Amino acid sequence: MKLNKNVIKVVCFGLIFCILFMNIQTTLINKGANDYSQVKGFYTSKMNADVVFIGNSHIYCSINPLLLFKEYGIVSENFSSAGQNLALTLLYTTEAVKTMNPKVIVVDAYSIVLPTMEPAYHRLGVDPLPLSIEKMRQVMFMRKHNEEFNGGKMYDSFSSYIFPILSFHSRWKELGESDFVLPDLRNYHGYAPSYNNIKADFSYYYEESTLGIYYDSQKKLFNTLVDICKNNNIELLIIKSPSPRWREDYHNIVTEWAKEKEVPFLDYNQFMDELDINVDKDFRDADSHLNDYGATKMTIHLGMYLSNKYSLKDYRNEKKYSYWFDDWEVYYTEKLQYE
Amino acid sequence: MCWNPKYALLMATSTVITWASGILIDRANNKKNKTEQEKTKEKKLWVALSFVSNLAILFFFKYFDFALANINAMLSQFNFELIQPAFDVVLPVGISFYTFQALSYTVDIYRKEIYAEKNILKYALFVSFFPQLVAGPIERSKNLLIQFNKEHHFDYDRVKNGLLLMLWGFFMKLVIADRVAMVVDQVYNNYTQYAGFEIAIATVFFAIQIYCDFGSYSNIAIGAAQVMGFTLMENFRQPYFSKSVAEFWRRWHISLSSWFRDYLYIPLGGNRKGKMRKYINLMIVFLTSGLWHGASWHFVVWGGLNGIYQVIGDVTKPYRNKLIDLLKINTECFSYRLFQMGITFVLINITWVFFRADNISIAISMLQQMVTVFNPWVLFDGTLFKLGIDSKDFMVALISIAILWIVDYAHTKGSVREWISKQNLVFRWGLYYVVIFSILIFGIYGPGYDAAAFIYFQF
């Protein structure tokens, strides 16, 4: 009898410990600017999305799912993280398939040509994802990859990806309100608008750029990405938003790979005039990202392309999707403040 | 220190030698055809062989470099060619501890305090008992060896108490010792940049560091053993509450102090052969203890100072008592006890400077800098927060030291774990969670978070 009582006590103690541990660990994790909430928001979406956009900041700065819904009735989600390379895109793709089972996955071409990843960015991209075998495989891959190519001195230990508290426990000194109360960014569906504008500098577009020693491994990862989508009957589309960071050589590489696998590739850098992109007004920084005005132009064009090519359902008249209009109001009210 | 598994062979050698010596001493004891004198002679031979061979191993691995450096220093005085060693000697982890533990067995058999263990595996378990192998407590065969013959059953309360002691050990080590160590390392590794109160604070922090470091290992070892049903001896009993240096040594690293008392001080004659001999014996014990702590002269000076304190304390005792009578000082009040504790703490801290500094001349230079520079403003102008830890870590250090003090004080009144066990479940569990998460959050471990690595241009 006493033994049973003690077993119950131990089990209860363990359960309470686990709950406290998970909460404290989440509090301590570095959440970047809004990176953590942005990715977490994907898992708390109320409805499955037909289209999921995956990649790095070029995705979450350039595509506005709210505008896609308002203009075309497309239900979509941005599921991206800063500095994301192709290896992490594969994990995000797997997660997107598991979570949303989308009809179309749109991947950023810049991630396709990114072989390495800053460890801090990697953490920001990986920590918000739920613990899974795929996640740990990706961490192992990145650590091994980094070891092969960069000496492996920068990535945290494998165990710290299972228990991030091992890496972040000393962050207690800089905890802020957003660590305890995660900002709810679900209204934006992964979109991170900015209303700043800085003149973009496209003078490096023709600068020689190669994947060097990473060429083969990147191509292999790209083929895996195509296979994941194919195996799950998901259409894959590669896009590249207008960005001064993009290079002609990268365009050629992705074009070649996409052609080989018969995957459509839309490089908006090739028809910026058609989109009416203004380098003086449509960028939030000089070297990378569109602001909200630029994103609006690109999203309108992309929405048209998606609607025409994939015959996606228009959800605007369905009652259970009416909350999308509320989300649009939240976004639009904020936007008006900057006009 | 080296963790190479091949050094387990050394432990195996010590185990076999001391086990065999036990058997041989026991056999000599039981020889009926020999006189007591002959028996004693033979037993002494086995004890001597056991001591010489074990201490030779210890000497080679721990003191070879030290001895060679001193021989070379002497040779260089006379312009002789220096001896170049043909090999590197590394210190196998735990060698000082298990050697002493194994030797105590030989003596205990010689003194007929225990019977020789016939089963070498059981004896090997005693020498290599993992909870206390690396850093003690240095157990006695008469306490630990016999426990291997007892049956061990699961006992919820015993396991819980063992885990609680381990938890407190982890708190002492990860939250306190390793945090204050950053201040100590900063000041002691850059001692020329610091003076006065900075050195004093670093030294007080070292006193806390070494207590929490060593005490935590002992607590973890004792707790782990308790979980498995073994009782190990107490190793630290609130040492900084001591009112004299002699008392400090009855509370500090008790298993080592009592080892030296039982196996060196008493065989040397202890205090049975007059005052002068007692003082000589005391000095021998403390100089040896210094050398045991590390193969360097500054450890010898540290041990010597502790010995000198006790000799002076004993010599001046009658005069101090007369002075107390003359000035009509009340010695039965708290303030007097506090005064005694304060003086003892200061004296011990002076010895810690020699223990922590890299050599004697650095220790003397730091002591000079400490007492000749008066810079109390460093306590107020933020300098403290530039001594290796920032203001937030400093605050955690001070709070955790206050907790340490409270727990130590509570221990003088009784068992803290017993007190906890009498509280309501909500309080008990709340306390456990607070301690566990304090260790997880405020503990110094892991790669450390580099905020700078996460500072980026938002995208």
Q: Distance between CA B400 and CA A186 in Å, rounded?
A: 41
Contacts of B277 (CB under 8 A, 6+ apart): B269
Q: How far is CA B206 from the centre of its chain?
A: 13
Which among A28, A120, A174 is the nearest to B453, CB-wise? A120
B454, A30: Cβ pair inside 8 Å? yes
Which among B449, B456, B458 is the nearest to A168, CB-wise? B449
Q: Cα–Cα distances in Å, from B162 out to A5, A295, B227, B231, B362? A: 19, 61, 5, 10, 41
CA distance A158 to chain B (A): 12
CA distance B454 to chain A (A): 6
In total, chain B counts a number of residues equal to: 459
In the predicted model, is pLDDT for residue B183 greater than 80? yes
Mean pLDDT of B76-83: 72
pTM of the model: 0.87
A28, B446: Cβ pair inside 8 Å? no
In the predicted model, is pLDDT for residue B457 greater than 50? no
Element (H, E) at B87: none
Higher pLDDT, B158 or A158: B158
Strands laid side by side in the A104-108 sheet: A76-80, A51-55, A104-108, A235-240, A265-267
Q: Give the residue carrying structure tokens 């020689």.
A: A208
**What are the beta bridge partners of residue A237?**
A106
Contacts of B436 in chain A (CB under 8 A): 17
B447, A121: Cβ pair inside 8 Å? no
Q: Say yes or no: B376 contacts chain A, CB-CB below 8 A.
A: no
pLDDT at residue A236 in the model: 95
Q: Going along chain A, which residue ranges are E strands?
A: 51-55, 76-80, 104-108, 235-240, 265-267
Are A313 and A270 in contact by the 8 Å Cβ rule? The answer is no
Mean pLDDT of B387-398: 93
pLDDT at residue B454 in the model: 47
Secondary structure (3-state) at A277: coil
A173, B392: Cβ pair inside 8 Å? yes
Q: Say yes or no: B395 contacts chain A, CB-CB below 8 A.
A: no
> Looking at this protein, which amino acid is placed at residue B413?
K
Q: How confident is the model at residue A143 (pLDDT cuts 50, 70, 90)?
A: confident
CA distance B392 to chain A (A): 7
Catalytic residues of B: 293
Tokens of B453: 């690595």
pLDDT at residue B455 in the model: 45
B433, A57: Cβ pair inside 8 Å? no
Are B179 and B400 in contact by the 8 Å Cβ rule? The answer is yes
A160, B446: Cβ pair inside 8 Å? yes
Q: Distance between CA B22 and CA B24 in Å, rounded?
A: 5
Q: Using omega within 30 degrees of 0 as the cis cutoff, is the peptide bond preceding B137 cis?
A: yes
Nearest CA in chain B to A169: B441
Contacts of A82 in chain B (CB under 8 A): 456, 459
Q: Cα–Cα distances in Å, from B137 out to A3, B97, B218, B256, B377? A: 32, 8, 6, 8, 42
Nearest CA in chain A to B445: A166
CA distance A294 to chain B (A): 16
Contacts of B398 (CB under 8 A, 6+ apart): none
Higher pLDDT, B372 or B67: B372
Q: What is the tens place of the pLDDT at every residue in A100-138? A: 889 999 999 999 998 888 888 888 899 999 999 988 988
Q: How far is CA A302 from the centre of its chain?
A: 17
pLDDT at residue B446 in the model: 78
In the predicted model, is pLDDT for residue A88 greater than 70? yes
Nearest to B82 by CA among B71, B94, B96, B97: B71
Contacts of B446 in chain A (CB under 8 A): 157, 160, 166-167, 169-170
Q: Distance between CA B167 and CA B219 in Å, rounded?
A: 9
Q: What is the tens place of the pLDDT at every residue in A297-337? A: 999 999 999 999 998 999 999 999 999 999 999 999 988 98
List residues of chain A with CB under 8 Å from any CB of chain B.
2-3, 6, 13, 16-17, 20-21, 24, 28, 30, 32-33, 57, 61, 82, 118-121, 123-124, 156-157, 160, 165-174, 192, 285, 288-289
B447, A157: Cβ pair inside 8 Å? yes
Which among A20, A61, A169 is the nearest to B459, CB-wise? A61
In the predicted model, is pLDDT for residue A151 greater than 60? no
pLDDT at residue B246 in the model: 94
The pLDDT mean for chain B works out to 89
pLDDT at residue A4 in the model: 84
Contacts of B456 in chain A (CB under 8 A): 82, 118, 120-121
pLDDT at residue B459 in the model: 39
pLDDT at residue B449 in the model: 60
pLDDT at residue A285 in the model: 85
R_g of chain B computed on alpha carbons: 25
Which among B433, B449, B458 is the nearest to A170, CB-wise? B449
DSSP A78-102: EEE-TT--HHHHHHHHHHHHHHH--
Q: How confident is the model at residue A291 (pLDDT cuts 50, 70, 90)?
A: very high
Q: Say yes or no: B433 contacts chain A, CB-CB below 8 A.
A: yes
Are A123 and A156 in contact by the 8 Å Cβ rule? The answer is yes
B459, A165: Cβ pair inside 8 Å? no
Q: Distance between CA B344 and CA B321 in Å, rounded?
A: 17
In the predicted model, is pLDDT for residue B456 greater than 60? no
A13, B429: Cβ pair inside 8 Å? yes
Q: What is the tens place of the pLDDT at every residue in B11-54? A: 888 899 999 999 999 888 887 787 878 888 888 899 889 989 88
CA distance B437 to chain A (A): 8
**Cα distance between the two ends of chain A:** 72
**Cα distance between the two ends of chain B:** 46
Query: A44-53, A65-74, A298-307, B423-432: lowest mean pLDDT where?
Result: A44-53
